[in-house]
Amino acid sequence: MKNLQTVGYAALLLLGLVAPFAVYPVLLMKCLCFGLFACAFNLLLGYAGLLSFGHAAFLGMAGYICGYTVQSLGFPPELGILAGTATAGLLGLAIGFLAIRRSGIYFAMITLALAQIVYFFCLKAQFTGAEDGLQGVPRGHLFGVFDLSQPLTMYYTVLAIFVGGVWIIHRTVHSPFGQILKSIRDNEPRAISLGYDVDRFKLLAFVLSAALAGLAGATKTMVFQLASLTDVHWHQSGEVVLMTLLGGMGTIFGPVVGAIVLVLLQDWLTGFGSWVVVLTGLIFIICVLAFRRGILGELLALKARML
Amino acid sequence: MADDHILETSGLTKEFRGFVAVNGVDLKVRRGSIHALIGPNGAGKTTVFNLLTKFLEPTRGRITFNGRDITAERPAALARRGLVRSFQISAVFPHLSVLENVRVALQTRLGTAFHFWKSERTLNKLNDRAMELLEAVDLGAFAGLITVELPYGRKRALEIATTLALEPELMLLDEPTQGMGHEDIDRVVELIRKVSTNRTILMVEHNLSVVSHLCDRITVLARGSVLAEGPYDEVSQNPQVLEAYVGAEHE
Ligand SMILES: Nc1ncnc2c1ncn2[C@@H]1O[C@H](COP(=O)(O)OP(=O)(O)OP(=O)(O)O)[C@@H](O)[C@H]1O
Ligand SMILES: [Mg+2]
């Protein structure tokens, strides 16, 4: 069973390595960025039982910080991405601190409200370029060596970041901390009665989730050489919920599958204009009705039934 | 001896929007005893437990544990001091395995609860102790099972094993035999007797035969107030107690 898993991961990695020879790299990188974003979001929803409706704030803010530090302060790409990730983590600390005392719908509402404040801040601030956003962010050289303007170099950098990010999430879920987190998700009063200060665990989970969402956002800025209001908009917060539910929140890779499906769908449907929203909405409804555990969740359940 | 009592309350009161659920309760629990809290449905027993473990803030009154005022303590901190509760509605972690349920409690001793960068394999050193605790409640054979799939009686046993993992000085059990068949009840009674050495137990229990066999002292609660306190034989003869019970049954 363990071996089968290792083989599966190796096969996926191999697929990731050869994919740019078959598919347009920019599309693949978009899939990877949103895959990491959804995966980070799911650390909170799937493993801490917290539904955040403000994750766009972390994706978008990290994108702006990365774009600004690289474009205006001349940071190398690795430092720009690091700065974006760290800022998202700090923002997560602030938003998480205010939100974790509430649960359920109230938690979702507070995260949404705070993310809207971040949105207006980005709209009004100078360094974000307001309505225009930041455009033409130079990709530069990674560690001063690898020229990221080469599509393949950029792609493998994004792949490495994605693998690293998902690995951190995997490790967190399967760590002593992850055990406590899952117990809080399952039965919070019981976890308290065993002596755990549940708010601190939730806060750490929130910060990790925010920072990793930021990592995805900063990386995305390097890929598209662009940071804009789209990524801080609440639509983006809603979309990541969709991706996660579509792919299946019970697993680590489910949200990645959901993200890829949604990105590809939007890519294929671009010809339909604003009908894309309606079509993705319909597909979402069908998927949620047909596979309640999400795409990956249903596949795993099917496999379990057949074995 | 002054600290003969491990737990004491004075004038403990809880009002819910004007409704007095617990009314001026003075409770003294002797160290090393098994103390029962009984009373008709809605008497306020669970509310007393919630107050003692700080899951609810008392409206008035004081609570001392080991001679220390804990009225302002937070629930998780209290658990770490050695006052651990179980719940009336079985409280397990349904999506963790049976072994993991107990291990989550044992994890408090490792001090690595926040270590998100470590592998969960570092927890395996707790498995032996977890298995011991599971064996003690006859759950050894179920260790690998996901807890949702456990029958109800077994879940209650698992809950006791999890509570015991913390080696609490004072254990609060809210109706540990509720909803169980005869065999399960006998097993739990034996278990409680076994674990009561070296610790104090305060339990809510409806089954009076369990109470009479197991408990050293009884406090009877009715409509939020203490009606009687003493050994079983004495309390069970008290006409007020009989009336409260019979009266409640006819309501
Ligand atoms: N959070 C709450 N808000 C309002 N009223 C409450 C609350 N919790 C309990 N009560 C009321 O307080 C009274 C005592 O309830 P409690 O659960 O303590 O009784 P109990 O003795 O444990 O009963 P049972 O034997 O049924 O478990 C009940 O009338 C109940 O409706
Ligand atoms: Mg009760």
Q: Is residue A299 part of a domain?
A: no
Edge-to-edge strands, sheet with B200-204: B83-85, B170-174, B200-204, B34-38, B217-222, B225-230
Count structural domains, chain A: 1
Q: At what angle do helices A77-99 and A104-124 cross, to 10 degrees?
A: 140
pLDDT at B115 over 50: yes
Q: Does B80 touch chain A (CB under 8 A)?
A: yes
CB-based contact A179 B122, cutoff 8 Å? no
Mean pLDDT of B51-80: 90
Atom 17 (ligand 1): residue with closest C-alpha? B46
- Mean pLDDT in chain A? 88
- For chain B, what's the residue count? 251
User: Would you place residue A155 in the very low, low, confident or very high pLDDT band (cuts 50, 70, 90)?
Assistant: very high
Least confident of A65-69, A97-101, A193-197, A292-296: A292-296
Token digits for B151?
């029958």
Ligand 1 centre and the CA of B48: distance in Å? 9
In this prediction, residue B246 carries a pLDDT of 61
In this prediction, residue B200 carries a pLDDT of 93
pLDDT at A45 over 90: yes
Half-sphere exposure (CA, 13 Å, Cβ side) for A87? 23
From chain B, pick out residues whose CB is under 8 angstroms from the CB of A190: 87, 91-93
Mean pLDDT of B13-25: 89
Q: Is residue A17 part of a domain?
A: no
pLDDT at A165 over 60: yes
Q: Is residue A76 part of a domain?
A: yes
Which one is predicted more confidently, A71 or A288? A71
Mean pLDDT of A241-266: 88
* Pocket perturbation via mutation, ligand 1, pick of B45, B47, B49, B202 by most ligand atoms within 8 A of CB: B47
Token digits for B226?
């203490």
Strand partners for B64: B8, B69
pLDDT at B251 over 50: no
pLDDT at A159 over 90: yes
Distance CA A88, CA A219 (A): 13
pLDDT at B196 over 90: no
Burial class of residue A104, CB neighbours in 10 A (0-12, 13-18, 19+): exposed
Q: Does B100 touch chain A (CB under 8 A)?
A: yes
pLDDT at B250 over 60: no
User: Would you place residue A1 in the very low, low, confident or very high pLDDT band (cuts 50, 70, 90)?
Assistant: low
Find the residues whose C-beta lies inside 6 A of ligand 1: B 16, 21, 39, 41-47, 88
Q: Does A115 touch chain B (CB under 8 A)?
A: no
Distance CA B250, CA B247 (A): 5
Q: Is residue A263 part of a domain?
A: no
Per the CB < 8 A criterion, the answer to whether A227 and A60 are in contact is yes
What ipTM is given for this predicted complex? 0.87
Residue of A nearest to B122 (CA): A176
Pairs of CB atoms within 8 A across A/B? 107
Mean pLDDT of A80-99: 95
Instruction: Give chain A's end-to-end CA distance (angstroms, integer).
Output: 12
Ligand 2 centre and the CA of B42: distance in Å? 7
> In this structure, what DSSP letter does residue A138 have?
-
Handedness of CA A204, A209, A210, A211 (dihedral sign): positive
User: Which atom in ligand 1 lies closest to the alpha carbon of residue B45?
Assistant: 21
Least confident of A87-101, A276-290, B189-203: A276-290
Per the CB < 8 A criterion, the answer to whether A233 and A120 are in contact is no
Nearest by CB to residue A187, choosing from B79, B92, B120, is B92
Ligand 2 centre and the CA of B87: distance in Å? 9
CB-based contact B94 A186, cutoff 8 Å? yes
Least confident of A24-33, B192-201, B233-242: B233-242
Distance CA A29, CA A40 (A): 16
User: Which atom in ligand 1 lies closest to the alpha carbon of residue B88?
Assistant: 27
Atom 11 (ligand 1): residue with closest C-alpha? B21
Distance CA B52, CA B8 (A): 10
Mean pLDDT of B62-69: 90
Instruction: Quote the distance between the C-alpha of residue B147 and its chain's center.
Output: 20
Q: At what angle do helices A176-186 and A151-173 cross, to 10 degrees?
A: 70
Q: Does B49 touch chain A (CB under 8 A)?
A: no
Per the CB < 8 A criterion, the answer to whether A24 and A210 are in contact is no
- Residue A106 sits in which domain range? 23-233
Nearest by CB to residue A193, choosing from B79, B114, B118, is B79
Kindly report the number of other CB atoms within 10 A of residue A45's CB atom: 21
In this prediction, residue A206 carries a pLDDT of 96
Q: Is residue A8 part of a domain?
A: no
pLDDT tens column, B152-164: 888 888 998 999 9
User: Would you identify the CATH topology of the domain B1-82+168-251?
Assistant: Rossmann fold (3.40.50)
CB-based contact A192 B76, cutoff 8 Å? yes
In this prediction, residue A267 carries a pLDDT of 82
Per the CB < 8 A criterion, the answer to whether B65 and B7 are in contact is yes
Residue of B nearest to A188 (CA): B93
Mean pLDDT of B206-224: 87
User: Which atom in ligand 1 lies closest to the alpha carbon of residue B16?
Assistant: 4
pLDDT at B248 over 70: no
Q: Where are the domains of chain B?
A: 1-82+168-251, 91-167
Q: Does A198 touch chain B (CB under 8 A)?
A: yes
Distance CA B218, CA A72 (A): 75
pLDDT at A26 over 80: yes
